[in-house]
Structure 1
Amino acid sequence: MATDHKLLHVHPPQLTFVFEPNKQSSCLLHLSNNASHHVAFKVKTTSPKKYCVRPTLGIVNPHGTCHFTVTMQAQRTAPPDFNCKDKFLLQTAVVPSGTTQDQISSHMFLKDNGSRVQETKLRVLLISPPSSPVNAHFNQMPPPLTVEKRLEAAAEDMEDEADKDNVPRCVEKVGDMNGVNDVVKLTLAKDSEGLNSRLSAVDAKLREAEETIMKLIAEKQKNTREKELLKQELEMLKKKIKMRRAQGGFPFLFVCVVSLVSMAVGYYIHP
């Protein structure tokens, strides 16, 4: 959507870093929303390993302000003539009211999805630290550009205008590692909570299984003792039966035979 009206106003319009060897340098940028709608923003850079952006994305309320800080990591040497070719891309898009920062995605900043999207390219300016009050103003001025540098800068501006509606592939590929790290940390925290809950459930089941095993062992021991008592009682009964049989006298069949013989003898003696 072509328009001269900016969704967010950036101040300052470029990133200025005081360069000192082996020292970090930070730059604070302010964003202001003068409209009556919510605007989401996302910051990208062509050198994500060299710069740290906090935060990399967010939402600015209507007529509200926001800011983000860019920190340049410590560098050993400065580029020739302090001419830094690093660039930043500020993507902005109108979002519905109630949209949260967690709901911001790369799809919101695509121009072909019908939403109102704008892109602002920010250049990086390196300055040397002021060594005295006399040359402090001079040190804060950008270094003079040679004819070759001016031609190169003009060529870069022409390339930027030609690619105004497309995000450079290198920017899309490298992205912003800080935002990825935040997402990874949040995912790891959620996974850790889920793993802890699962471990607690497994521990509870193990304790329950141990209690069940202890009960089964106690029942088995009890059954073994009862079985031994039954065997002892059975042996005692067998001994008692044998003793009774031994003390019982003549068998009943022998008594019957003797009686029959006695009756026969008496019959022959007294016909």
Structure 2
Amino acid sequence: MGTELLEIQPSELQFTFELKKQSSCSVHLVNKSDQYVAFKVKTTSPKKYCVRPNTGIIKLNATRDFTVTMQAQRVAPPDLQCKDKFLIQSIAVPFGTTDENITSDIFAKDSGRYIEEKKLKVALISPPPSPLLIQNNAETKQSLHCESSVQKDRLVSGVENIPPPHKVTESLVQKDGLVSGVENIPPPHKDVKDVDGFETTKDKDEFTAAKDVEFPIIEDVEERKPAEDAMSLNLTKDFKELKSKLNTVDSKLKEADLTILKLTEERSMNAREKDMLKHQLEMLRKNSVKQVQVGFPVLYVFMIALISLAVGYLVHA
């Protein structure tokens, strides 16, 4: 593909480096093609940076930004040199593709589709000097100027101008350098070699998908230590009290379970006794009815017989 898919600005990520402080940098992407373009951000240090968003879709003739946040660092690198790199992959996708449709298979190297890759280096810059520091430097220069004026006045008045100790030491060192015949030249500054291996397969494999997760703010551990110790002691005490209360509640629950079990057994026994009494009462009622049914006809027959005898006697009389 001859045309360039994306225009990336800036070409280098610059972070203002301060210990224990996060730093952010924005990257501007411009779609220069006549298609939808999907992009993906990778880095050689995924644990150190947060990229939001790390993937996305740029529509036709549209732009999009993503933010790179560097995690707060506890130690400054030598000479503020950084070897971290970012890789931005872009590929043309069909019209109507959304951010939710982006998968890792789209950027697979074995898919045979053209994937445009651009690399961005990372540069660390020092923060601007504070107004207080500028004021201190101005006061120092003024004091040095006053000191030099006093020394000139001493020369005019005939007083011996004795150089300060640090100047005497410097002159002795320069003299020794002249005697030995070797010029006292400071050692050359060693540049940190930033190996540009972008074209090698090994460096390409070092790039990992950037994370889209914010880093927690790092606080001073030494300042937090007393507060954390006191908090941990309070938490331990509260935990022990809570544990003892839970044990007490547990024992009471066990006693309540036993009481409920006894009451349940007593209730079932009472129910059984009640059923037995009902059954016995029913049996007694049935027996009394049978007795009444058996005895009533005999008495009735006996009465009829007596009445018949009496009527017969009266009729014959």
TM interval, short-chain normalised:
0.5 to 0.7
Alpha-carbon distance in 1 for matches of 2:291, 2:26:
110
Paired residue for 2:198, among 149, 160, 177?
A: 160
Question: TM-score normalized by structure 2?
Answer: 0.51
Alignment of 1:177-216 (within 5 A): 177-178=211-212
For 1:169, the equivalent position in structure 2 comes to 205
The aligned amino acid for 2:198 is D
Paired residue for 1:115, among 102, 113, 121?
A: 113
Matched residue SS, 1:31: strand
TM-superposition CA deviations, 1:62-116 (whole Å, max 9, x none): 1000000111121233211221001111111111111121221121112331322
TM-superposition CA deviations, 1:112-133 (whole Å, max 9, x none): 3132211111100111122279
For 2:14, the equivalent position in structure 1 comes to 16
For 2:219, the equivalent position in structure 1 comes to none
Number of aligned residue pairs: 185
Alpha-carbon distance in 2 for matches of 1:234, 1:12:
105
- Structure 1 regions of 5+ residues with no counterpart? 134-145, 182-224, 253-271
The aligned amino acid for 1:242 is Q
Paired residue for 2:57, among 55, 59, 71?
A: 59
Alignment of 1:1-271 (within 5 A): 3=2, 5-131=3-129, 149=191, 152-153=193-194, 156-157=195-196, 159-163=197-201, 168-172=204-208, 175-178=209-212, 235-249=284-298
Alpha-carbon distance in 1 for matches of 2:83, 2:121:
8
Query: Structure 1 residue 24: deviation in Å?
Result: 1.3
The aligned amino acid for 1:168 is K
- How has the CA–CA distance of structure 1 residues 118 and 167 changed in structure 2, closer, same or farther, with 3 Å as cutoff? farther
For 2:163, the equivalent position in structure 1 comes to none
- How has the CA–CA distance of structure 1 residues 116 and 147 changed in structure 2, closer, same or farther, with 3 Å as cutoff? farther
Structure 1 vs Structure 2 CA RMSD: 3.3
Query: Structure 1 residue 234: deviation in Å?
Result: 6.5
Matched residue SS, 1:41: strand
Query: Structure 1 residue 7: deviation in Å?
Result: 1.0
Identity among equivalent positions (%) equals: 44
The aligned amino acid for 1:27 is C
Matched residue SS, 2:97: coil
For 1:209, the equivalent position in structure 2 comes to none
Question: Structure 1 runs of 4+ off > 4 angstroms?
Answer: 228-235
The aligned amino acid for 1:244 is Q
Does structure 1 retain, via aligned residues, the 8 Å contact 2:38–2:90?
A: yes
Alpha-carbon distance in 2 for matches of 1:99, 1:178:
21
Q: Bigger radius of gyration, 1 or 2?
A: 2
- How has the CA–CA distance of structure 1 residues 244 and 112 changed in structure 2, closer, same or farther, with 3 Å as cutoff? closer
TM-superposition CA deviations, 1:149-177 (whole Å, max 9, x none): 37x33xx22x21233xx7733324xx333
Query: Structure 1 residue 235: deviation in Å?
Result: 4.8
The aligned amino acid for 1:160 is F
